[in-house]
Amino acid sequence: MDKISIVVPCYHEEKSLPFFYKEISNVYNKMSNVEFEIIYVNDGSTDGTLGVIKDYASIDKRIKYISLSRNFGKESALYAGLENSTGDYVAVMDADLQDPPELLEQMYNVLIEKDYDCVATRRVDRKGEPPIRSFFARCFYRIINKISNTDIVDGARDFRLMKRSMVDAILQMKEYNRFSKGIFGWVGFNTKWLDYENVERVAGETKWSFWNLFKYSIEGIVAFSTMPLLISSFVGLLFFIISLTMICFIILRTIILGDPVAGWPSLVCIIFFVGGIQLFCTGILGQYLAKTYIETKNRPIYIIKESNIDLNK
């Protein structure tokens, strides 16, 4: 009998978990030919999330949990769940039911019947999202796909079902600064995409503010593209050419007309403009340097505080 591990990162999902457990239980009943393992990863929640998970674990032996020592972020929680999963197939999904559990049966059937290593989901619309957020999200996908060799599908969700071989490949990527959407694409493997309409949260509030999403997009760009460094180099070269041209112009004008170019306001504007470009390019370099600095520390991706999983295996 095949075994499916379902990794569910949880951060302040106390209100969503009862709805999720009900839906995933329906999947148990429909897929009676498959063994299940549900791994909840409590990512440092300060509400009653861990208590709810423990209550379900006490009545359902299929439920495992990992509680991290603090909030490490969703990427670290995902990695913790994947690393401690034991299934032949591993699913990643959220507890807020924006990832419909009923799709699991279809995803599993695709993997056993066709030559795919992964079945992933993507939203065909962004119904319920603020328009400004949807606009910038689409811009991000267009930019990252132009400047990176990694294929990141617009509307892609983390919700996917993978064969063990793909999971093992992902676990080999032990970088501290993680961007899962890019990692899923970078490791390759044959992926089947399932489209579905956007589903709003069943309860609670999203933890992804506009600022958090912006920082996450920067993580993705820095992690999977060096194009910003190349752009900053071209900008530096462009301004060198412009400045050289202006110097020649001023010298020729002075020689021919005897009139050096005057005007401190224009000079101040140029200084501020060039200074801003320099700071911008320095900031790009600083982002890459900061990520390198953090990686060289070789800190653990996550720290487990408690779990009902035998971690010594």
Q: What is the pLDDT of residues 19-50, one digit of tens each?
A: 888 888 888 888 888 888 999 999 888 888 88
Please indicate, yes or no, whether the overall pTM of this predicted structure exceeds 0.75.
Answer: no
Side chain identity at residue 222, one-letter code: V
pLDDT in tens, 126-174: 665 666 666 666 777 677 667 666 677 766 778 889 999 899 998 988 8
Neighbour-count burial of 133, counting CB atoms closer than 10 A to its CB (0-12 exposed, 13-18 middle, 19+ buried): middle
**284 CB-near residues (< 8 Å, 6+ apart):** 228, 229, 231, 232
What lies within 8 Å, CB to CB, of 167 at 6+ separation is: 82, 85, 90
